[in-house]
Amino acid sequence: MIDSEKIRNDFPILQETVYGHPLTYLDNAATTQKPRCVVDRIKEGYLHRNANVHRGVHFLSQEATEAHESARERVRRFIHARSTSEIIFTRGTTESINLVASSFGELLSEGDEILTTVMEHHSNIVPWQLLEQRRGVVLKALPIRKDGTLQTEQLESLITSRTRLITLAHVSNTLATVNPVREIIRLAHAHGIPVLLDGAQSVPHFPVDVEELDADFLAFSGHKIYGPAGIGILYGKEEWLEKLPPYQGGGEMIDKVSFEKTTFNVLPYKFEAGTPDFIGSTALAAALEYIDGIGMESVAAHEQRLMDYALRRLGEIPEMRIIGGAEKRSGLISFLVGDIHPYDLGTILDKLGIAVRTGHHCAQPVMDYYGIDGTVRASFGIYNTEEDIDILVEGIDRAIRLFHH
């Protein structure tokens, strides 16, 4: 059991009031709040340790480099990668996927196929569509079912001799479905196809071990795991990263530059052009230390309990329609209530200090599949409690009374 009271004290923002109500923050899938230790690390970095990394002989630069590189090691341990060569700092999940689309894309020719799924965030669709335009590759999507699960049994028939990569969400940000990625990776590998996992909604919520999953690539964002915005991770198996050409050109990613010939730096620097967010990396490490201190197993159990409670409580509301009903789900719930527009419901909840997300959640193909414009989404984090869910349910009840009278 996690000590919610103690955890809540680590997040000063949870003491804020919104329109005179205590803040009830249920928008963790969009971004999480930051514990004091993360903000302190940023402040301490800029106030006392600020110098560019990897370039200076001077004391501060060496200290900054050491902190940045030990952050990389922290990330490696967190996802259980074999080597820090496999950990690339990016701006977030979106850039991590774009990096693969760009560099892996260079290896592809017209008619090669990328296989994704219908439940993806736009950031795992659009980069591949851009690649379709650039290189004439073909993007295919594994369909879903009304219960919010993938039609995994269709996978084999969608794979062809031209399939070069399978890329999918580990957890859907809209349906909460935890996809059977281990089985998908096994099947893909049996066909010699690598797999990219979008871990934006998995890595913050339960233990993810890239070695155990045998994932070829994994992308996630710092800001969704209690760390700062603007930093994220691309994990890639060393043998793949060695094969891929660089993503961007500039300082840091080179070995030797001349107008005759330029050679590139070793991994992971080959993929890190320019000055990295060396303060963000250390703040991300602080977030991982913090969450590791609680334990990812405990985090998962806590959020699972909250979700079960929320499903039960929301289920008591007449006209409640929950979108996505997978058995294996992670801590978020998308829903609609009667004919109340999600935006109206979200606005009323906001006036009660309850932060939820409304809209298509950057997953318009999912909305199209269900024939809806959007949903209201409540998503949980380590500091949420059953009381937050009671407040949400009361808020929804109030909205229903307001709309029906």
Ligand X SMILES: Cc1ncc(COP(=O)(O)O)c(C=O)c1O
The residue (of 128 and 348) whose beta carbon lies closer to ligand X is: 128
Contact 145, 117 (CB under 8 A): no
Find the binder of ligand X among 32, 98, 123, 149 (CB under 6 A).
123
Each residue 80-119 as x (binds ligand X by CB under 6 A) or -, in order, gives: ------------xxx-------------------------
Each residue 14-43 as x (binds ligand X by CB under 6 A) or -, in order, gives: ---------------x--------------
Structure token digits, residue 231: 């930093």
The residue (of 200 and 337) whose beta carbon lies closer to ligand X is: 200
Find the binder of ligand X among 64, 100, 137, 169 (CB under 6 A).
169
Query: Catalytic residue among 30, 126, 362, 393, which?
Result: 362
The residue (of 234 and 392) whose beta carbon lies closer to ligand X is: 234
Kindly state the smallest distance separating residue 381's Cβ from ligand X, in Å. 14
Kindly state the smallest distance separating residue 233's Cβ from ligand X, in Å. 11
The residue (of 200 and 348) whose beta carbon lies closer to ligand X is: 200
Number of residues that bind ligand X (CB under 6 A): 13
Please give, one letter per residue, the 3-state secondary structure of 193-234: CCEEEECCCCCCCCCCCHHHHCCCEEEEEHHHHCCCCCCEEE
Each residue 350-379 as x (binds ligand X by CB under 6 A) or -, in order, gives: ------------x-----------------
Kindly state the smallest distance separating residue 332's Cβ from ligand X, in Å. 9
Find the binder of ligand X among 28, 103, 117, 173 (CB under 6 A).
173
- For the purposes of burial, counting CB atoms within 10 Å of the CB of 230, is it exposed (0-12), middle (13-18) or buried (19 or more)? middle
Q: Is 362 a catalytic residue?
A: yes
Segment near ligand X (CB under 6 A); pick from 38-46, 193-201, 244-252, 287-295: 193-201
Find the binder of ligand X among 24, 28, 33, 221 (CB under 6 A).
221
The residue (of 198 and 216) whose beta carbon lies closer to ligand X is: 198
Q: What are phi and psi of 17, to 5 degrees?
A: -115, 150
Structure token digits, residue 25: 């923050």
Q: What CA–CA distance (Å, rounded) separates 86 from 268?
A: 6
Can residue 200 be called a binding residue for ligand X (CB under 6 A)? yes
Segment near ligand X (CB under 6 A); pick from 194-202, 205-213, 317-325, 338-346: 194-202
Find the binder of ligand X among 49, 121, 270, 329 (CB under 6 A).
121
The residue (of 99 and 400) whose beta carbon lies closer to ligand X is: 99
Kindly state the smallest distance separating residue 319's Cβ from ligand X, in Å. 27
Find the binder of ligand X among 98, 201, 265, 358 (CB under 6 A).
201
Kindly list the residues in this chain that would bind ligand X in the complex (CB under 6 A): 29, 92-94, 121, 123, 169, 173, 198, 200-201, 221, 362
Known catalytic residues are: 362
